[in-house]
Amino acid sequence: QKEVEQNSGPLSVPEGAIASLNCTYSDRGSQSFFWYRQYSGKSPELIMSIYSNGDKEDGRFTAQLNKASQYVSLLIRDSQPSDSATYLCAVNQGGKLIFGQGTELSVKP
Amino acid sequence: SAVISQKPSRDICQRGTSLTIQCQVDSQVTMMFWYRQQPGQSLTLIATANQGSEATYESGFVIDKFPISRPNLTFSTLTVSNMSPEDSSIYLCSVAGSASTEAFFGQGTRLTVV
């Protein structure tokens, strides 16, 4: 079983829609969770961090964490073509970030 | 967040040679990591660079192949030794303020081995 799992996609949504990205993890002891955005040919860029159960909102982005279900998600509201990228879920396990395989998001104008 | 400078940004190397990648941070950081991202793949942790001591390597990575130095809290190097085409990848330096906080990445080194 992979430690951090994401649907690889591609996920295609129309401009203005909500994009929903999901991630599950195997280590119940994990306490820190992150979403990174990676444009093609660029390095990962941190967009959200979440440490407690529930929702955390930052602009058009909402991260959701459910530790009991070992599930973390990212919602992108009012999706824009500039949001087209690969989104990487990362879980801190023992002081190290373990990444999922990433979900490719395509926002169509 | 810290400014992370990684160089070279890209290189094309002959098989059998070695390449050293440098990572310089503009402030002292507790944690420094080296990742590899193979074409079309996600990030795989190579090792944690420990200041003043030997790096901690992940399963599948060994010191002879990927020697790492970290002489102080702002600088680290990763060497890719005796390269083969399978080492063609993007290598990324990452820093974090503590073991539980978010990590930030340098711009990466795109390595092609021919």
Q: How many residues does chain A have?
A: 109
* Cβ-contact B24, B74 below 8 angstroms: yes
d(CA A31, CA A47): 18
pLDDT, tens digit, 9 for 90 and up, residues A67-80: 999 999 999 999 99
Q: Which residues of B59-94 are buried (b: 16+ CB within 10 A; e: fewer)?
A: eebeeebbbbebeeebbbbbebbebeeebbbbbbbb
| Residue spans of alpha helices (H) in B17-57 | none
Measured between beta carbons, which residues in chain B are less than 8 angstroms from residue A98?
A: 45
pLDDT, tens digit, 9 for 90 and up, residues B53-78: 889 999 999 999 999 999 999 999 99
Cross-chain Cβ contact A43/B105 below 8 Å: yes
Percent of chain B exceeding pLDDT 70 equals 100
- Least Cα distance to B109 among B30, B50, B46 occurs for B46
Q: State yes or no: pLDDT of B1 exceeds 80.
A: no
Measured between beta carbons, which residues in chain B are less than 8 angstroms from residue A90?
A: 103
Q: State yes or no: pLDDT of A81 exceeds 70.
A: yes
Nearest CB neighbour to B105, from listed A44, A92, A95: A44
Mean pLDDT score of chain A, rounded to an integer? 94
Cross-chain Cβ contact A95/B101 below 8 Å: no
Cα radius of gyration (chain A)? 13
d(CA B112, CA B14): 9
Nearest CB neighbour to A49, from listed B31, B102, B106: B102
Average pLDDT over residues A46-60: 96
